[in-house]
Amino acid sequence: MRVLGIETTCDETAASIVELSYDNRGIIRSNEVLSQIAQHAAYGGVVPEIAARAHVDVIDRLVARACEVAQVGLEDVDAIAAAAGPGLIGGVMVGLTTAKALSLVTRKPLIAVNHLEAHALTARLTDGIAFPYLLLLASGGHTQLVAVRGVGDYVRIGTTIDDAIGEAFDKVAKLLGLGYPGGPYVEQAAHKGDPERFSLPRPMYGRPTPDFSLSGLKTALRIEAERLQPLSERDICDLCAGFQAAVVDVVVDRTRVALRQFTEVAGHPSALVVAGGVAANMTMRQSLTRLAAEAGLRLIAPPLELCGDNGAMIAWAGIERLRLAMVDDISAPARARWPL
């Protein structure tokens, strides 16, 4: 089984060919990603109009390249999958419409994939783990703790009441004059800083339900930063270290609570899985590894190239769905909002 996956929900245009292996994992035959970061950096965030146009400009070339690298033709794939949301609607429409056109021309089934589901199932592509498992999905747009019980069977245990974790990293980076997207810059600066110089709040820490709130932490950091103006490099590194330590503390605490609640909704988890762009953060990974071990579980974090948005995760979600004959009609809608 072999599927083409197309991803255009945010600022990455991506196309990939993935095959199902004999041991039920994915073999990534190609995974082409073109980031638009340079085109959005000047604005300090993704500009939807620019994103949609940029997807149109490169999508054909990228699909052709994914096939070329994988050394397969479109006639050799079993289905065409595209992220149909949630995301910036202009971009979603580009990817989904491309997939529809390819599906019509090749007479291969269309699979309209939920982008969040694709992040959620990536651990099965890489590690072939069994259902159920606890997923911490942490990206620029989403922060969710989800019991993954099966394909299309998700129970959300916790979420954020304000900013997403990646968004908080991005806002802090912007506040401190670091680059975009902020996560990697904050992590780098934090590495050189003292996490204990500032005592920043840990919002929601200790609460019985595993929800997040990050805007208060961001505000506390802004107040410290304003007090210190002009900021020295040391100040910036210490603020980043303090912020990252606070976020990691909160994430570990919230995930611990979610692990406890998991049993009620889904039984015993096979693993703790972290996904989304924030999963690239090494301090986060180390702390979650310890938490998982505490619970007698393995932490599964995707390799860096599969943490951020990519086509392989869409192709894999396509494989998971195709195996269950969950294919879509040509009328499948593009959806800006689409909860798991």
Contacting residues toward Zn ion, per CB under 5 A: 139, 309
Span 148-167, contacts to ligand KG4 by CB under 6 A: 166-167
CB of 27 to ligand KG4, least distance (A): 22
Instruction: Give 106 or 159: the residue with its C-beta nearer to ligand KG4.
Output: 159
What is d(CA 208, CA 138) in angstroms, rounded to the nearest whole number?
Answer: 20
- Look at residue 91 and give the partner it binds from Zn ion, ligand KG4, none, a contact being a CB closer than 5 to 8 Å depending on partner kind: none
The two three-digit tokens of residue 312, written as one number: 């392989």
Instruction: Give 253 or 309: the residue with its C-beta nearer to ligand KG4.
Output: 309
162 annotated ligand binder? no
309 annotated ligand binder? yes
CB count within 10 Å of CB 324 equals: 10
Whose tokens are 């604005």? That residue is 43
Stretch that binds ligand KG4, among 91-99, 103-111, 138-146, 320-328 (CB under 6 A): 138-146
Instruction: Give 77 or 236: the residue with its C-beta nearer to ligand KG4.
Output: 236
By CB under 6 A, residue 183 contacts ligand KG4: yes
137 annotated ligand binder? yes
Whose tokens are 């073999």? That residue is 27
With CB under 6 A as the contact rule, the residue among 141, 158, 193, 242 that binds ligand KG4 is 141
CB of 276 to Zn ion, least distance (A): 6
| Local structure of residue 160 (DSSP, 8 states) | B
- Look at residue 158 and give the partner it binds from ligand KG4, Zn ion, none, a contact being a CB closer than 5 to 8 Å depending on partner kind: none
CB of 163 to ligand KG4, least distance (A): 10
Instruction: Give 26 or 182: the residue with its C-beta nearer to ligand KG4.
Output: 182
The two three-digit tokens of residue 96, written as one number: 């989904």
What is d(CA 192, CA 146) in angstroms, rounded to the nearest whole number?
Answer: 33
What is d(CA 255, CA 261) in angstroms, rounded to the nearest whole number?
Answer: 10
Q: Which of 102, 95, 11, 29 is nearest to 59 (CA)?
A: 95
Stretch that binds ligand KG4, among 29-37, 122-130, 229-237, 277-285 (CB under 6 A): 277-285
Instruction: Give 143 or 261: the residue with its C-beta nearer to ligand KG4.
Output: 143
With CB under 6 A as the contact rule, the residue among 308, 313, 314, 321 that binds ligand KG4 is 308
Instruction: Give 158 or 277: the residue with its C-beta nearer to ligand KG4.
Output: 277
Q: Which of 54, 123, 152, 132 is nearest to 312 (CA)?
A: 123
What is d(CA 9, CA 2) in angstroms, rounded to the nearest whole number?
Answer: 22
Span 4-43, contacts to ligand KG4 by CB under 6 A: 10
Contact, 28 vs 16, CB < 8 A?
Answer: yes
Strands 133-138 and 143-150: antiparallel
Distance of CA 125 to the CA centre of its chain: 15
Q: Which amino acid is at 162?
A: D
CB count within 10 Å of CB 101 equals: 14
Q: Which residues bind ligand KG4 (CB under 6 A)?
A: 10, 139-141, 166-167, 169-170, 181-184, 187, 276-278, 280-281, 308-309
